[in-house]
Amino acid sequence: MKDVSTSIRGHVAGPVPGHGSAPSSLDCETSFQKIAKSCVHLVQGNRRSAIAADPEAIHAMRMELTRLRAAVLFFSPMVKDAAWPPIRKELSWLNSALGKARDHDVTVNYTRRKRYRSWANRSRRAIVRVQEKAHRGLAKKLDSTRYDRLIAALNHWITSGSWLQNDQAFRSERFDLYSQARLCQWRTEIGRKGRHLRTLRRKQLHRLRIQCKRYRYMVAALQLLRVNLSEQDLAFGEAAKQVHRVLGDLRDLRRLRKTVQRRPPYYRKSKRKLLRQAEKAFRRAP
């Protein structure tokens, strides 16, 4: 990704009308640390339940890892340092295990739905066995020394990492002004792809889904930090939330077909309906 610090500084909007709270006076350094620490805290808070194969805890851990990585990308001009790539590699390791378990949880839930129950009946036992295997693999990773080292390294990097020696002016920049310009950049990129949704291939749709997820998570993080957001930011956040959900459903449906190795009932009709919903969300977006 290109260095965006210069372009962001040249594209800072004016004050945004209030939405029930005073403008945030936090700087970028403090804001990033608040968001990142919260993510790690919630990851750790769900660890034991995830080891016990609680699907909601597994989902929560995965979401917080995504929020953390979204925050790092959001603040990438500030937090770039030599320590991050090794940590990112370890986060990918953990996220892969969480994602695998979560995907199997979702697939099992699909086979229990009224629409797919009879269709998946012959395959359900095998699907559940694979789910249980994924849970055991995840539990082993969450209870490992490697996981403990990752969390320790992550906490040290957030609070004392070498990125804290980077550009003082950038770290001291007002977060509300920085975030307006950064959201605008993300919104432009997502919107450009969304206008050509039907022409996107599977990997491109997956990438778009991830971008929408990051956008909605950062909007939520900004709201928790009492950053005033424009009506456009909020409206696009709702559109991104819907597109993320719809493209996620499309991905789950394709995975269900691959797992059972035959098309689910109403497969093509469901795919067309989901793509129409995503297109509709983009048309409504500001």
Name the region of 15 (left: φ>0; alpha: ψ -120 to 50; beta: rest). beta
Q: What is the pLDDT of residue 286?
A: 79
Residue ranges of the chain with pLDDT lower than 70?
A: 1-24
d(CA 85, CA 162): 13
Domains of the chain: 26-173 (1.40.20.10), 175-286 (no CATH)
Q: What is the pLDDT of residue 41?
A: 98
pLDDT tens-digit series, residues 187-215: 999 999 998 888 999 999 999 999 999 99
| 31 CB-near residues (< 8 Å, 6+ apart) | 24, 175, 225
Half-sphere exposure of residue 195, counting CA atoms within 13 Å on the CB side? 6
Half-sphere exposure of residue 80, counting CA atoms within 13 Å on the CB side? 10
Q: What is the pLDDT of residue 1?
A: 36
User: Residue 174 forms beta bridges with which residues?
Assistant: 27
Q: What is the pLDDT of residue 24?
A: 55
Q: What is the pLDDT of residue 4?
A: 41
| 23 CB-near residues (< 8 Å, 6+ apart) | 15, 16, 176, 227, 228
pLDDT tens-digit series, residues 12-64: 333 333 344 444 578 999 999 999 999 999 999 999 999 999 999 999 999 99
Q: What is the pLDDT of residue 138?
A: 98
Task: Give how far Cα 166 sits from Cα of 26, 153, 170, 177, 178, Å.
Answer: 18, 19, 8, 19, 17
Question: To the nearest 10°, the Cα dihedral for 53, 54, 55, 61?
Answer: -90
pTM above threshold 0.75:
yes
